[in-house]
Amino acid sequence: MEDLKAATHVEHKLAVPSQSLGENTIGIEDEILFQMAEQIPDFANLIQKARRASNFEHHLTNWDAFKQFPKAVLFSFVLSLAIIMEGYDTSLLGSFYAYPTFQERFGVPSKQGGYQVTSNWQTGLQNGTNVGQILGLLIAGIIADRWGYKKTMLGALISLIGFIFIMVFAKDIGMLFAGEVLCGVPWGAFQILTTTYAAEVSPIILRPYLTTYVNLCWVTGQFISTGILRGLLGRTDEWGWRIPYAIQWVWPVPIIIGVLFAPESPWWLVRHGKIEDAKRSLSKLSRPGDSEYDIDDAVALMIITDTHEKLSREGVTYWDCLKGVDRRRTEIVCFVWCCQVFCGIWYGGNIVYFLQQINFTNNQSFDFGLGVNAIGWCGTVCSWFVMQRVGRRKLFVTGLGIMFTVLMLVGFLGIPSHTTPGLSYSSAALLLVFVFTYDLTVGPVTYCLISEIPSTRLRIKSAVLARNCYNIASIIANFLNPPILNPTAWNLKGKGGFIWAPFCLICFVWSFFRLPEPKGRTAPELDILFEKQIPARKFSKLEVTPFRSNNFEIISDSTVLENEKSVMTSN
């Protein structure tokens, strides 16, 4: 009887003793449960709504989700189009190093004939973009948390329109470098805003599609840039390289229009106490119908999750990402995004320049580049279906294993001093396999993991830190990769696979032991799994009950009273 009194000594008698959880089932901490009950008015009713919302999410099918949330899909797709610009410019810059008019304008005479942009300037231009992105990420993380996704996105798009002028009318390579740095600032904002917005406006089952669509936009941008350069190869004037930069003005205006009509993230509104605004946002993202979806239930789940995270964590600063239970979550997202670089995609994905160094003509190289981008596009689409079946962890680890094998094979094919046509085509075919594997596994899965692993209150800040780790890794890759391929530097050609293979192996080993499986988990379920310090390989094997502790369960007031009467009668 004393245990029952202790359990019900919270507002409106909300908790009763429950049967202990099974061996493979975990729940919330007793203390946190009671603190939540004391802080949230009408907590028992809110818990019931949150349970219904959680059950709805777990039983939602793909088709029903697309029918219920078509506007969420539409607005997420519109915002993610901004990534096309970043993928476009990243691929553009790498391909420009093999582009005759760009080489002549910004390069130096080469001993092999023609012109080459020096290895130092190749590194500098690419790192200039990364420096800008690091600044943009840090700024966007603060602004988005304070003023929301829409205002931050609009500011980034408007500033980009002005910065593109600098690259289009660059008079020398120093001015081009400045343009790359400044354009990197809004690109950095796009990197986190698009992925986290997609995660916060969609149900669990749609997240793999909407978050990995970001990677599809990246590949689409690369495909467009390669196609445009292929079409302009015949131009010998300066507009041969200015036009590709100017085409970037096509994207911002339609995206700005889409952002103006898009609703703010309901999770962001709940975190700022704007409950009614969150309900209105959800009503704009969903379509009314005969389904069991209820906006009040969905908001209740957000309130419960937000309160739980407030009580179990100290704050929402960058420093808080590195403290307590969130340290592990930050480690995972940071390393996952670093794997996108250290898997060797800087080497395997720079296929146009690579093929030129192994005696392919300009036309052959760019034609092959178009084919590779098309294969990468198909790989990302295939990942939507594979990921739903096998999960994130298995797909990520398997992809790294295949890419490590390909890098070693390319390295062995590069050992002969005289490259024959057969060896060249074999290396090219292996790189096709490499790019397809990357865009089926590590490339898109990363965006899904980045949106799911962090807590909801630290999602933006964690994504900022993770993407900046990616940018730092990119800076390292930008110092390492140009000399590997550049004929004026190391000129390793295929043997560069041996340089990248050990990095890929490290990523594989880390992922096998540290990467958990978040597939099918709601935000409160992931919170509990991390709070209980569950090993990564056991994440998918445990059942989680986010609305009860190991000893007590939140139920309605009337059930509490009936339970109490029965206990008193038995005594």
CATH number at residue 343: 1.20.1250.20
- Residue 272 counted as domain residue: no
Number of domains in the chain: 1
- For residues 503 and 404, give the distance between their C-alpha atoms in angstroms, rounded to a whole number: 9
177 is written with which tokens? 């470098």
- For residues 216 and 444, give the distance between their C-alpha atoms in angstroms, rounded to a whole number: 8
The one-letter amino acid code at 173 reads: I
- For residues 485 and 494, give the distance between their C-alpha atoms in angstroms, rounded to a whole number: 9
* Overall pTM > 0.85: no
44 is written with which tokens? 């028992």
Predicted local confidence at residue 354, as pLDDT: 67
pLDDT string in tens for the chain (571-residue length): 344 334 444 443 445 555 555 567 777 777 777 788 778 888 888 888 988 999 998 888 888 899 899 999 999 999 999 998 888 877 777 777 777 788 888 877 776 667 778 878 887 887 888 889 899 998 998 899 899 999 999 999 999 999 999 988 988 888 989 998 999 999 989 988 999 999 999 898 998 899 889 888 888 888 888 788 778 877 778 888 888 889 989 889 999 999 999 999 999 999 999 999 999 999 999 887 656 788 999 999 999 999 888 887 767 788 888 988 899 999 999 999 999 999 998 887 667 666 666 667 767 777 777 777 788 889 989 998 899 889 999 999 999 999 999 999 988 887 876 666 667 678 778 888 998 999 999 999 999 999 899 998 899 999 999 999 998 898 888 888 777 766 666 767 778 889 999 999 999 999 999 999 999 888 888 988 998 889 998 888 888 888 777 666 665 543 433 343 343 344 4
- Residue 45 counted as domain residue: no
Q: What backbone phi and psi angles, to 5 degrees, belong to 545?
A: -115, 90
Predicted local confidence at residue 1, as pLDDT: 37
Directed axis angle between helix 70-80 and helix 275-285, to 10°?
90
Predicted local confidence at residue 332, as pLDDT: 96
- Residue 174 counted as domain residue: yes
Predicted local confidence at residue 416, as pLDDT: 76
**Residue 319 DSSP class:** G
- Residue 304 counted as domain residue: no
- Residue 300 counted as domain residue: no
- Residue 213 counted as domain residue: yes
Predicted local confidence at residue 11, as pLDDT: 40
| Cα dihedral across residues 8, 10, 14, 16: positive or negative | negative
Domain that holds residue 327: 62-262+313-514
Predicted local confidence at residue 563, as pLDDT: 41
Return the half-sphere exposure (C-beta side, CA atoms, 13 A cut-off) of residue 49: 17
261 is written with which tokens? 């009509």
Q: CB under 8 Å, gap of 24 or more: what pairs does 355-361 form?
A: 355/424, 355/428, 356/98, 357/485, 357/487, 357/491, 357/493, 358/419, 358/424, 358/427, 358/493, 358/494, 359/419, 359/424, 360/424, 360/428
Predicted local confidence at residue 359, as pLDDT: 66
- Residue 53 counted as domain residue: no
Cα first-last separation, the chain: 8
| CA separation, residue 79 to residues 22, 191, 196 (Å) | 43, 11, 11
Predicted local confidence at residue 418, as pLDDT: 65
